[in-house]
Structure 1
């Protein structure tokens, strides 16, 4: 499936090749102008400087190095440097709470952490609860007044100023068995779990994505449409989707404009400035294109294709985005999970893909739909739980063999927890998460179905639907709505749904107006948080009766 080389050798060889082919061409550009442009040659030497630092600092094969940064060029050379010594890299949002940071750093048994200078105080305060953590590397300025700590604190700039002298041959990596990465699952259905990804898992994903594109996407675009010297990246690097797309751009020698965080107007300015042709997106950004008045201010005529993952797009949203992006010809959706690195299903061009499908099985994977109660394999078109097997499937959950056994069956299929169906041609249709289906009088209601319908309302800009306890029916759908028109009433929303769906799908749980919908970094709605907040509020209200 892949060359028997570890991740760092594949990436460093590619970066070195680009640096010779395109000397002086930027590899990374900061959208916010937070740092100077970084060339491929600089990225190469910084990676080796980090490898040298990790070796001299005692990071052993299989030990954990965690990166807690918003998107920045500093992420990549430290990741590659860790791989060079056999380290395992984990990612964590720098905006995590102290509790969330403590949980992941302790659970992963992190030995070395890379974060911002602003985060040093928080890390120092919890360091006494983190016996495995020995070294903290910081980007930016070191704050004054740090409390006493056992931690060794090192500047990122000091590390890359060292000579990039490193012998890669001294690290023996079994790419099938040795871990490269330990991303944490989103935690939408429980505490986040470390996902053990081997070198072979990740490199197989890159190979399979390339093969799929060569067979089903590139032949249907013109040479002009398919070429792109500059791209942009705002998807979080600490998430599988973001890091996979980042690596794909680097391996192709593209210049990458990095957004520390997504900012609507800056994003539009960047698309116009660099005449961006292809954009990797999440559904939340489609919502931005449809509802933001900023979109019409900028020339976005260069955009010919977009890719989207994280959640299925409604046909309404696709049609509306095409109205805003006049030259948009291709929308490529995909399905994946952290547990399979990135994607198992992707869209195809050429007219063979049904409009409601999210994608076709990528060659090299297997899939099946099973009855979630009995495990019986279902026929094409029948709705059940999606199960996936392939060379990118995780080795298991970190320090959690029970969760691994519950997730992967005896045939090696990952039970995804997603409900959908597969047609005779292998196209996938998604419905919703098993645990998020709302059970009303024995009927199952998919929140996504109601959300997609509500988003067609001209006075609604964003929405989420959850199930709440309801004595008469067991559960009832409740909508959380972000108004585009402040005059919109709850009754209007209820009536809109009532006129279009079966009675058991009506919003008998009510309508609540809110300023924003909570989402994870890839745009998935955090229904569990909405439900917990609602139940907490109900409990508080009842306690005052």
Structure 2
């Protein structure tokens, strides 16, 4: 069997046919039904004119519809381009233009928005044949019923393990979004190794809080489900009480997420109302985690959550899973390290103790950007992560700092250059610099230092302007006006002097 997403979908249908693949509210889909619905959706793509290699962008929150739409893109021989569900239309339009997306699938009305109208107002969408509401694809599928099923299967058969499966965008320090391209064999390989180390089986009930548009939700969520036969429960937004209700009712066993999710469960005054004893596996990211949190997660109820396996891992868009803790690791190891390299990956330290990674799951490169690719991956295949790290005698990785001008807000990377470029579009702003500052809830939030052309400009006006053009997690929460920004002789802002 070739290492492609269409073949993984077929294999799951054959092995786990009548077992539930997804439970989304009152909707349940078995693996066999998932395969059938994906095939019909892929036929709809063909009817809409999608050719092999075409890019299709998905802009929506977690749902069964998202999973079906994404898997059908691969089945039709296309490439998935996910967009953050909280992005503005301007941000999504940039991704469409960069990828020349053929189709765009949108959750119109999400959080009360008018996404389709906003998108058409933000861009001429020159490459786009159709913009479709992801929750209303039945008409597209009806069109696809006229397509010869053999043509759909032939398209799926033609997919190669080395074809680009997805393009995941991550902003760069220049402010220009960069699309990390990953092959089918790599995307599935990441899911396979994560699933094995987590011990995921068809008996597991997996609550996916991590966004599907993120590698954590798509590759170690949707694709882990295909490879292991487990049942996925997608969560469109974070609702602690609703999440505890679902854990109890569905007997959820697997719950990956940011440390704040587990802290929220432990500290919730409602926790005593729910039976959370089914949880067995928790996986969190590379953020430093308090030892006491790990101990409370492992402790027996009512003091803790009684989760048998609590581990941390490290990865990034360009290399989704690099290291991961193991079940036998101590609370201190889990709290203070990201574990050791997973099979197929290796790590070492470069200049300034920068973490370098190499192996099977390093991206193919950045879309249409050979210079950025060459800067990120050296001639020996080492990806330069921009993270400063240490590696202990047991081979466990600890991230200690970042070389890149980037901070993390609410679990999402924010690149100040991107925010600064938007602020400088304001005709009353002469200069701007953004840094991350500590925040109890979000970890870090943005603080903008602004030089005004108009002394009447207010902080609220700056924030409102940013809110129109940037996702909420990128919008600075604080604004400080300065007469000038500190710069060195080459003109670079000395951000160490800003606070």
Shorter-chain TM-score above 0.5: yes
Select between 323-332 and 105-114 the one with higher mean Cα deviation. Answer: 323-332
Query: What CA deviation, in whole Å up to 9, does each residue of 1:41-69 have, x standing for no partner?
Result: 32111111122122232222222101111
Cα RMSD (Å): 3.4
Give the secondary structure class of the aligned counterpart of 1:100. helix
Matches within 5 A, 1:409-424: 409-424=378-393
- Distance in 2 (CA, whole Å) between partners of 1:482 and 1:179 is 37
Query: What CA deviation, in whole Å up to 9, does each residue of 1:403-447 have, x standing for no partner?
Result: 11111111111111111111233211121222369xxxxxxxxx9
- 1:137 counterpart (132, 140, 146): 132
Give the secondary structure class of the aligned counterpart of 1:344. strand
Structure 2: segments with no counterpart, 5+ residues: 110-114, 417-433, 443-471, 486-499
- 2:241 counterpart (251, 265, 277): 265
Give the secondary structure class of the aligned counterpart of 2:159. coil
- Distance in 1 (CA, whole Å) between partners of 2:350 and 2:311 is 26
Matches within 5 A, 1:183-262: 183-185=168-170, 190-211=175-196, 213=197, 218=199, 228-244=203-219, 245-262=221-238
Give the secondary structure class of the aligned counterpart of 1:411. coil
The Cα of 1:322 is off from its aligned counterpart by 4.0
Alignment of 1:126 onto 2:122? yes
> Which residue in 2 is equivalent to 1:494?
none
Equivalenced residues, count:
421
- 1:76 counterpart (52, 67, 71): 67
The Cα of 1:255 is off from its aligned counterpart by 2.2
- Distance in 2 (CA, whole Å) between partners of 1:416 and 1:110 is 28
- Distance in 2 (CA, whole Å) between partners of 1:160 and 1:205 is 31
The Cα of 1:234 is off from its aligned counterpart by 1.8
> Which residue in 1 is equivalent to 2:468?
none
Matches within 5 A, 1:44-193: 44-118=35-109, 119-128=115-124, 130-140=125-135, 155-161=136-142, 162-163=144-145, 165-167=149-151, 168-170=153-155, 172-176=158-162, 178-185=163-170, 190-193=175-178
Distance 1:41 1:481, change over 3 A: closer
- 1:349 counterpart (313, 320, 327): 327
Larger radius of gyration: 1
Query: What CA deviation, in whole Å up to 9, does each residue of 1:458-494 have, x standing for no partner?
Result: xxxx9x9x99xxxxxxx999644459xxxxxxxxxxx
Distance 1:61 1:538, change over 3 A: same
Alignment of 1:368 onto 2:343? no
Distance 1:117 1:332, change over 3 A: same
Contact 1:127 1:133 in 2 (8 A): no
> Which residue in 2 is equivalent to 1:11?
9
Contact 1:115 1:137 in 2 (8 A): yes
> Which residue in 1 is equivalent to 2:459?
none
The Cα of 1:326 is off from its aligned counterpart by 4.1
> Which residue in 2 is equivalent to 1:288?
264
> Which residue in 2 is equivalent to 1:339?
318
Structure 1: segments with no counterpart, 5+ residues: 141-154, 219-224, 373-383, 438-446, 452-461, 468-474, 484-524
The Cα of 1:540 is off from its aligned counterpart by 8.7
Contact 2:388 2:401 in 1 (8 A): yes
- Distance in 2 (CA, whole Å) between partners of 1:227 and 1:83 is 23
